[in-house]
Amino acid sequence: MSNEDNDRINAATTGFIDLDKCPVIEPVPGCRLRTPHAQHLMLSYLEMDAGAEVPLHSHPHEQGGILLKGKLQLTIGDDTRIVQPGAMFLIEANVVHRAVAVDGPALILDVFSPVREDYAELTNRYIPPTDCV
């Protein structure tokens, strides 16, 4: 994606955000996200199908989030928990983490700082690819 395309998307999503106009990224099968961002902060609206997994990974960005709908098995470092809607979490930079949608689909709002450059470019650099069965 060119810088001009990225600036257009960024300008279109700064201020009030229409998620339907945000490009969709599918970093792994069954996980779709939209990532509007400003200069230093990125939102990530993540929809996970039942059983979908964001595999164990880390990145140099701080991440916080809240589970909006569904149930999630969330691993942060050495701690794994099943969380319900309303659960909030913070993940320091470079800490390994993983998420699995349990017993149905899940909807998560994540926040990244600084902006994930790979998502801003509509790519995925940090989550390892999964094999499709």
Q: What is the pLDDT of residue 130?
A: 58
Q: What is the percent of the chain with per-residue pLDDT over 90, rounded to a whole number?
A: 74
| Bigger pLDDT: 71 vs 16 | 71
Residue 53 has pLDDT above 80, yes or no: yes
**What are the start-end ranges of the E strands in 10-125?**
25-28, 31-34, 42-48, 53-57, 62-76, 79-83, 88-91, 97-113
pLDDT over threshold 70, residue 23: yes
Q: What is the pTM of this model?
A: 0.85
- Beta carbons within 8 Å of 7's beta carbon, 6+ residues apart: none
Confidence of residue 1 (pLDDT cuts 50, 70, 90): very low
pLDDT at res. 131: 45
For 36, how many CA atoms within 13 A lie in the half-sphere containing its CB? 14
Specify the residue for token string 């916080």: 64
CATH of span 3-120: 2.60.120.10
Question: In the numeric block, which tokens belong to residue 111?
Answer: 């926040």
Q: How far apart are CA 133 and CA 130, in angstroms?
A: 9
Q: Taking residues 97-120, report their average pLDDT.
A: 96
